[in-house]
Amino acid sequence: MMSAFEYVIWIPLLPLLTFLLLGLFNRFFKEPVSGYVGTSAMAVAWFLSLKTAITYFFDAGLQNGKYMPVEVFKLEWIKFHSGLSIDMGIMLDPVSVMMLVVVTTISFMVHFYSLGYMHDDEGFSRFYAYLSLFSFSMLSLVLATNLFQIYIFWELVGVSSFLLIGYYFTKPSAIRAAKKAFIVTRFADFFFLIGILMIGYFVGTFDIETLNGSQTIQWILQNQFPVFLGLSVITWALILIFIGGAGKSAMFPLHIWLPDAMEGPTPVSALIHAATMVVAGVFLVARLFPLFFHIEGGFALRVVAVVGTFSALFAAVIALTQEDIKRVLAYSTMSQIGYMMMALGVSGFEGMEGLGFTAGMFHLFTHAMFKALLFLVAGVVIHAVHSNLMKDMGGLHRYMPVSSWTFLIAALAISGIPPLAGFYSKDVILEAAFHYSFIIWLTGFIVAGLTAFYMFRLYFRIFHHREKTYAHPPREESNYMKIPLIFLAVLTFTVGWLFTPFSKYVSPTREAFHYHIHWTDPLVWGSMLIALSGIVAAWIFYYKPTAYPDKIAKSLGVLYTWTKNKFYVDEAYLFVTKKIIFDKISKPAAWFDRNIVDGMMDAIGNTTVWISEKIKPIQSGRLQEYAIYFIYGVVILIMAFYYMNYKM
Amino acid sequence: MEGISIQIVLTFTTILFFIGLYGFITRTNLIGILISLELMLNAEAVNFFVLNKYLFPGVLQGSVFSLFIIALAAAETALALAIIIQVYRMTGSVDVKEVKDLKH
């Protein structure tokens, strides 16, 4: 049983070796070689992941109708006491195997694509080293057996994200974006760490399987825990862990780093900031789903649902007005991740009630494919036009047919048009939400329409809209960039049909349930219709240049300005950090430190110097002066003795 | 012996000691300092002898100490003079204010 999966360890290990090779011997690898090394390592890892998935789902995993987790190996690293230890290990279960496939597929495609995209770049080998580091950390994260292991690799993906956003380190804006991403996510990770430590303290284990086991949950439910603000500490721990996840997954209000992260090279945006790293938060909630669901009637899970739903709507509204194509995609990512969170949040546990969970995971799976595809196409376009802005584009369909068609497929998928991948995941999410709460369903429903609208706004404005003459006719240069597009487009087309089998494999209880889409259900028709109307609206507005967008923008007035400026969330952060924290707290604190604390230390030092200056002449080195002091001393002693013995 | 009282002798030695002390402090000439030192030593030697003789006539410790002091003073004078000669050779002076090479 164990030995069947021993090769799994090579999946994270190969990128690590590549990273060490390319990172340490950076100078010996010239341009194409390092790319080939990285790409072939990823290809092997991808192949191994597919093999793992097939073996796990069809052969080894299923026991008594349940997918049991397989611990490939586990090393006890730091032991606190029996039960509580930090381990390093590899665990396979439906969620992690699915993540394994997602991460390696997208990573392999991006490695391949970068051979063309990063062509002639100075830091080519460095780029591949960073990509390998990221793949290693992300793969180890999804395979973790232990909450602390998740945390360690969580930080490591944060570092590689920082390195890759700041890849063009000569650009000040890139450095700022990298710093911002690191600080914001690090700030959220702080809460994550506290949450983990609280779990360790109160529950007494970091082991994910033990935590999710029904025994532990029963034990937690039967015991009384300290209560803070009306919620038990376990719920607080889960909320704190979710804050960590929200930071990485760019949920409101910790989303501010994601749009700026688009300063990184586009393949990086596709890999890290669209398909894999940003869904780590979703993965985290899914990992601890039994805890989230059972503790205190699932209060923490309701928080997840509300935050996810709000972020989905918030980001979709902002995406409507952005001009930079990568930023539109970034907000779209945030919105879709909100969708996933919402799906997890509305999910039940047993049987068909676990539909939300399955749908959320499936949306993660399909979203990775088409969002990566969208970003990769955006990369091709940016490469050809040398601009990120929509106003510099238009009519590109004629010049770049492959990009145009693949983008269209991805845009249809994300809008939720059958039979493409996005339709299945999105529709099931909406169905799950409908059974949970009408308001959440309605929000999700509106977001679906908005998504269709802004995606097609993007599509029409890049590839149609108007005929534009370009100084250099844009073209799709490299086959390295075209092949991943076509491959991912094929995946986008087909993975949707996997949903029926998928529901058999990934569910909260790990028990198979069968789900079929009911084509006659008005919900299905509703979500299809709203997507279609979004597309039609975008077609009317943007297929040819029209006056409607400007008119509507004018009539909305303040609302439009607010949306355009991303609801001033960045400015609010700046206000809080600069005006309040820096001016009101940090500066007085710094003043206190400089003048009072340092002043006291200086005073002690200066007094010592002053006193020593004053008494230094005593040590003149002249024997005769010493004799005088000696005599003074003797005289004083004599007087003292006299006074004591012959009191007057 | 009977004619001189102990007070007179002690007064004499005290005066002698403080003359020596004054000289030791105020003199700048090394030879002068040495002489002042000798004065103090001799005052003490006389003190030892006199106190022994007048207060404890049956024992000799005081007298023996006086002898010790005399011997010690002789040795010390020889040593000090040798140092003073060396100092004179190096600095060309026997003034104590000139001798400060070891100060820093």
Pairwise CA distance, residues A237 & A343, whole Å = 21
**Average of per-residue pLDDT across A185-213:** 88
Residue A24, min C-alpha distance to chain B (Å): 55
pLDDT band (50, 70, 90) for residue A415: confident
**How many CB pairs below 8 A link A and B?**
18
Contact between A482 and A476 (Cβ < 8 Å): yes
pLDDT band (50, 70, 90) for residue A470: confident
Q: Is the pLDDT of residue A590 over 80?
A: yes
Integer-rounded Cα Rg, in Å, for chain B is: 17
Least confident segment among A65-69, A196-200, A404-408, A573-577: A65-69
Give the A-side interface with B, CB within 8 Å: 621-624, 627-628, 631
Integer-rounded Cα Rg, in Å, for chain A is: 31
pLDDT band (50, 70, 90) for residue B42: very high
pLDDT band (50, 70, 90) for residue A74: confident
Cα angle vertex A587, ends A583, A593, to 5°? Answer: 165
**Average of per-residue pLDDT across B51-65:** 89
Looking up tokens 């010996």, which residue turns up? Answer: A28
Q: Cβ A624–B25 below 8 Å, yes or no?
A: yes
List, as one string, the DSSP characters of A206-220.
-BHHHHHSHHHHHHH
pLDDT band (50, 70, 90) for residue A1: very low
Q: Give the pLDDT score at B102.
A: 66
Is the four-CA dihedral A607, A610, A614, A619 of positive or negative sign?
positive
Best probe of the A interface among B84, B102, B103, B104, by most A CBs < 10 A, is B103
Q: Cβ A622–B25 below 8 Å, yes or no?
A: no
The pLDDT mean for chain A works out to 85
Secondary structure of residue A73 in the 3-state scheme: strand
- Closest-CA residue of chain A to B24: A624
Least confident segment among A27-36, A451-460, B69-78: A27-36
**Average of per-residue pLDDT across A454-467:** 85
Best probe of the A interface among B17, B21, B22, B25, by most A CBs < 10 A, is B25
| Chain B partners within 8 Å of A631 (Cβ) | 21, 25
| Chain A partners within 8 Å of B96 (Cβ) | 622-624
Percent of chain A residues past pLDDT 70, beyond the cut? 98
pLDDT: which is higher, B92 or A60: B92
Task: Say which residues have a Cβ less than 8 Å from residue A328's Cβ, sequence separation at least 6.
Answer: A319, A322, A454, A457, A458
- Of the candidates A621, A624, A628, which has its C-beta nearest B103's C-beta? A621
pLDDT band (50, 70, 90) for residue A46: very high
Q: Give the pLDDT score at A107.
A: 92
Q: Cβ A628–B33 below 8 Å, yes or no?
A: no
The total number of residues shown for chain A amounts to: 648
Residue A174, min C-alpha distance to chain B (Å): 60
CA nearest A11: which of A96, A68, A87?
A96
Report the 10 Å Cβ neighbour count for A129. 26
pLDDT: which is higher, A560 or A318: A318
Residue B8, min C-alpha distance to chain A (Å): 23
Q: Report the range out of A66-70, A608-612, B92-96 with the highest average pLDDT.
A: A608-612
Query: Exposed e or buried b for every residue in A97-117, given b needs 16+ CB within 10 A?
Result: bbbbbbbbbbbbbbbbbbbbb
Q: Give the pLDDT score at A62.
A: 67
Task: Give the pTM.
Answer: 0.78
Give the B-side interface with A, CB within 8 Å: 21, 24-27, 33, 96-97, 100, 102-103
Query: Which residues does residue A333 pair with via DSSP β-bridges, in sequence order?
Result: none
Q: Cβ A621–B33 below 8 Å, yes or no?
A: no
Alpha carbon distances (Å) from A73 to A2, A146, A521, A574: 8, 12, 46, 46
**Average of per-residue pLDDT across A270-281:** 86
Q: Is the pLDDT of residue B13 over 90?
A: yes
**Average of per-residue pLDDT across A191-215:** 87
| Chain B partners within 8 Å of A627 (Cβ) | 21, 24-25
Pairwise CA distance, residues A279 & A135, whole Å = 14
Contact between A336 and A363 (Cβ < 8 Å): yes
State pLDDT tens for residues A78-101: 887 777 888 888 888 888 888 889
State pLDDT tens for residues A594-645: 889 999 999 999 999 999 999 888 887 778 888 889 999 999 999 999 888 8
CA nearest A257: which of A174, A142, A136, A372?
A174
Q: Cβ A621–B100 below 8 Å, yes or no?
A: yes
pLDDT: which is higher, B101 or A483: A483
Token code pair at residue A558: 């303040």
Interhelix angle A421-434/A355-385, rounded to 10 degrees, is: 140
Q: Is the pLDDT of residue B77 over 80?
A: yes
Pairwise CA distance, residues A150 & A290, whole Å = 17
Q: Classify burial at A439, counting beta carbons within 10 Å of its beta carbon; exposed 0-12, middle 13-18, buried 19 or more.
A: exposed
Residue B87, min C-alpha distance to chain A (Å): 15
Pairwise CA distance, residues A361 & A55, whole Å = 20
Q: Cβ B96–A624 below 8 Å, yes or no?
A: yes
**Average of per-residue pLDDT across A287-311:** 87
**Average of per-residue pLDDT across A344-360:** 82
Domains and CATH numbers, chain B: 6-91 (1.10.287.3510)
| Chain B partners within 8 Å of A623 (Cβ) | 96
Query: Exposed e or buried b for every residue in A347-380, given b needs 16+ CB within 10 A?
Result: bbbeeebbbbbbbbbbbbbbbbbbbbbbbbbbbb
Residue type, A565: N
pLDDT band (50, 70, 90) for residue A16: very high
Q: Give the pLDDT score at A648.
A: 55
Q: Cβ B96–A623 below 8 Å, yes or no?
A: yes
- Closest-CA residue of chain B to A627: B25
Q: Is the pLDDT of residue B2 over 70?
A: no
**Average of per-residue pLDDT across B10-21:** 93
Q: Cβ A621–B21 below 8 Å, yes or no?
A: no
Pairwise CA distance, residues A138 & A339, whole Å = 22
Q: Cβ B24–A624 below 8 Å, yes or no?
A: yes
pLDDT: which is higher, A522 or A233: A233
Q: Cβ B96–A628 below 8 Å, yes or no?
A: no
**Average of per-residue pLDDT across A542-565:** 77
Strands (E), A460-540: none
- Closest-CA residue of chain A to B27: A624
Q: Give the pLDDT score at A3.
A: 56
Q: Give the pLDDT score at A462.
A: 86
What is the enclosing helix (H) or strand (E) of B39? helix B30-55
